[in-house]
Amino acid sequence: MEAHSFSPDSTGPRRAAVLGLAAATTFIGSREMHRLLSAQGTSAPELVLMVLFTLCFGWIALSFWTAIAGFLQLVLGPRIPGLRYPTAEEEARPLTSRTSVVMPIHNEDPTAVFANVQATYESVAATGHLDAFDFYVLSDSTRAEAWVAEELAWSDLVRRVGGQGRIFYRRRTDNTGKKAGNLGDFCERWGRRYDFTVVLDADSLMDGRTLVKMARLMELNPRAGIIQAPPLCVGRMTLFARLQQFAGRVYGPVVAAGAAAWQLGESNYWGHNAILRTEAFINHCGLPVLPGKQPFGGHILSHDFVEAALMRRAGYTVWLVPELGGSYEQPPPNLLAYAQRDRRWCQGNLQHLSLVMAGGLHPLSRAHFLMGVMSYVASPLWLLFLVSGLAAALHDRFLLDPHTQEAPHLAFDAPAALRLFGVSMAMLFAPKVLGLLLALFRSDESARMGGRVKLVLSVLLESVLASLLAPVMMLFQSHFVFGTLLGYRVNWSSQQREDADLPWSEAARRHAAHVAVGVGVIAIASLVSASLVAWLMPVAVGLLLSIPLTVLTARASLGTWAARRGLFLLPEETEPPEVLERAQTLCEEHAVESVDDAVERVLSDTKTHALHLALLESQPELVRDSVPAALESARRKLLGGATEPLSAQEKVAALLDIDTLSEAREQRLTRTLS
């Protein structure tokens, strides 16, 4: 097979088509909005309304034409141009490269983490290419109990699969840089041993065949710096999670294929389930520490966009390859957990504003920064658009000279506005419709999603529920953006991943302001006219129902009920891939025993004591990271016979000190023998 050389010039027609059509659509929509607003003259609120509409409509237009491009890509040809793919003969050859598979974790459930690692490891082994891969679990856990549980889970995993020398565990005590710093520490210590590095998240799971394909693509395309395999959300049973999983499975391929179709070698990196060219990543993708304090200064939270931009600046390409498949992750189980994750991503994306004009970046890398910002700023823009609309309506209703108009009216022509609204909604829902059409035309796929009737019904129900939840997320994200601008910063904490019912009290506390906004919107609109109330009702209903919606969609019982009736089904559920089934089986068969008191476990259990000290001895630099005051206090309590419990900091300090652990255990054994 001839190599497909990637040339920036080859992207021109595709980008011109998508970006040009998006710009033209925005111009037409904005001109129509201007015509509507200027019919009776243009007030100051209406001018603001016009600017906000143009920004929001432009964002919708770009998403629409990206979805169209993705639909055409999937219908006309499954592979994006520019990458060289292996021939059948090349696929049969052994890999000549070495690849590390790294999973950074932070206070996670070790049962799920190591089940996914084992399932991925065994899947790679089944391909016959295990010799080309090593696995690393990179812990940033701050809780002593999580740390010791991880050590025990890693030891059991290595024993079960015979993974000595192939599966490694490392915990660092200095969490500088969060996940990006964790990965950077790995690169400094072990990265140069490997040609490529696959980065996973704590909930990631990958098919071994996908990992082999990714490594082979990197071998065949020496200028490829990053290849991203879009992850599919699976594995959760709450109704909220099932809605996300279903949407990602039906609509996600259209969006991903569209982005890949026009971005090509200037695509983006999503931070996990991707393969990196290790040496290029080490040499060119070191992250800067931004000047100033958080939220805009300090360590970069959303590191992936920046690393992709730096990789492209160095002359390497970045690819999104939707057809890879076999790439999985888990969604947040409820709306509040989703919002918590979004809060961190929001701050990270807003940090990118200071990097947009950095020297030497590819224009599309700058565009990725701006698109990341827009993905969050769009919410406050829509909010301001609604507020401006209300202000314009109130202006026309109460402030215009009554002699210049026969009767109070809205600030726009309702029938024409309804047409523009219909076009906007059609563009907004286009990815859903296109994804549904593809699933319906693929009879084997639709059959595994409950059949065509259930599939259509699932899309309709998901669209209704997503529309009701959208105003709530608009207010959440607006709060995040305004909060970041005002200087509020996020704390790095582990995500909620397990299914659990959400208390009504928690939902009421988090959504009280949202309900109040919904009431206020209806009250203000009613001062103008009944027709304005009708226009705003889709927004208000979601806000008014936010508490019961959040509580009910957080229930796994409702998700299970829907699945039993063939709703929101995934093909990966009706006919699960082997790696997914294996991970679930391992979770059930090898549940990691919880550690109630890490220090007590290390002192009382011979196996745990020996394992923990052996790992400490393999990383002598950890001892230097202990806090002297905390260690002194821990020694006094452990060796001096004090009965008061150790604090969290004292536990960590004790677990970092071999002498303290050895003396305390020897003292305990002496007491037992005497």
- pLDDT one-digit tens code per residue, 319-329: 999 999 999 99
Residue 400 banded pLDDT, cuts 50, 70, 90? low
Q: Answer for the pair 105, 151: CB distance below 8 angstroms, yes or no.
A: no
Average pLDDT over residues 87-94: 93
Residue 387 banded pLDDT, cuts 50, 70, 90? confident
pLDDT digits 0-9 by tens, 151-187 = 999 999 999 999 999 999 999 988 888 888 999 999 9
pLDDT digits 0-9 by tens, 581-606 = 999 999 999 888 788 899 999 999 99
629 pLDDT more than 90: no
Average pLDDT over residues 68-89: 90
SS3 category, 393 = helix
At residue 275's C-alpha, the angle toward residues 270 and 277, to 5°, is: 115
**CA-to-CA distance for 10 and 650, rounded, in angstroms?**
60
Q: Answer for the pair 413, 39: CB distance below 8 angstroms, yes or no.
A: yes
**CA-to-CA distance for 202 and 200, rounded, in angstroms?**
7
Residue 41 banded pLDDT, cuts 50, 70, 90? low
- Give me the pLDDT at residue 399, please: 61
Integer-rounded Cα Rg, in Å, for the chain is 27
Residue 110 banded pLDDT, cuts 50, 70, 90? very high
- Give me the pLDDT at residue 391, please: 78
**The model scores a pTM over 0.85:** yes
- Give me the pLDDT at residue 619, please: 81
- Give me the pLDDT at residue 406, please: 46
pLDDT digits 0-9 by tens, 486-520 = 888 777 666 777 888 999 999 999 999 999 999 99
pLDDT digits 0-9 by tens, 132-144 = 999 999 999 999 9
Average pLDDT over residues 372-399: 82
SS3 category, 239 = helix
Strand pairing report for 327-329 and 232-233: parallel
258 pLDDT more than 90: yes
Average pLDDT over residues 619-624: 68
- In the sheet that holds 205-206, the strands lie side by side as 205-206, 327-329, 232-233
Average pLDDT over residues 76-105: 92
Q: Which residues contact 415 (CB under 8 A, 6 or more apart)?
A: none
pLDDT digits 0-9 by tens, 404-430 = 444 444 444 667 777 888 899 999 999
- Give me the pLDDT at residue 364, please: 94
Q: In the predicted model, what is the mean pLDDT of the chain?
A: 89
Residue 298 pairs in a beta bridge with: 290
Dihedral sign for Cα 360, 363, 368, 370, please.
positive
- Tokens 């040499």 belong to residue: 283
- Tokens 């999104």 belong to residue: 320
Residue 402 banded pLDDT, cuts 50, 70, 90? low
pLDDT digits 0-9 by tens, 481-493 = 999 888 887 776 6
Which two tokens mark 152? 């025990």
**CA-to-CA distance for 4 and 519, rounded, in angstroms?**
58
Strand pairing report for 196-199 and 99-105: parallel
Residue 309 banded pLDDT, cuts 50, 70, 90? very high
**CA-to-CA distance for 403 and 444, rounded, in angstroms?**
67
The per-residue DSSP string of 596-617 comes to S-HHHHHHH-HHHHHHHHHHHH
547 pLDDT more than 70: yes
